[in-house]
Amino acid sequence: MMWLPANVSPWEWEQVRARVIAAAQACAICGRELFPDAPPRSRWSTSVDHKVPRAVFAGMDLQTQRQLTLDPQNLQAVHARCNSRKGKRSMRQSVPRPQSQKW
């Protein structure tokens, strides 16, 4: 994965990710059940979300990035669709809407 901090190997992340998904009962965002058999990358597939998002910790020192990337306390299993909605929502919050322009 491209976004992993330099001191986290994809292998390490994959292990933690699999553990979080295996332990999860329900989507942390919508509360509905997870579907382990959903096709990968489909809307109902399971993805692992960082509560403190990478956008926030990307600028911190590598040790902190590693900690937040792999800390189960910072991870939650969610539906891919819920995760992308959350992402869009926080984007809207952080980026001011462009004012409508008069031409």
Q: What residues make contact with Zn ion under the rule CB under 5 A?
A: 27, 29-30, 79, 82
Is 78 in contact with 27 (CB distance < 8 Å)?
A: yes
Nearer to Zn ion, 30 or 91 (CB): 30
Is 12 in contact with 1 (CB distance < 8 Å)?
A: no
Nearer to Zn ion, 64 or 84 (CB): 84
Q: Is the backbone of residue 41 left (phi > 0), alpha (psi -120 to 50) or beta?
A: left
Nearer to Zn ion, 47 or 65 (CB): 47
Q: How far is the CB of 79 from Zn ion (least distance, A)?
A: 3
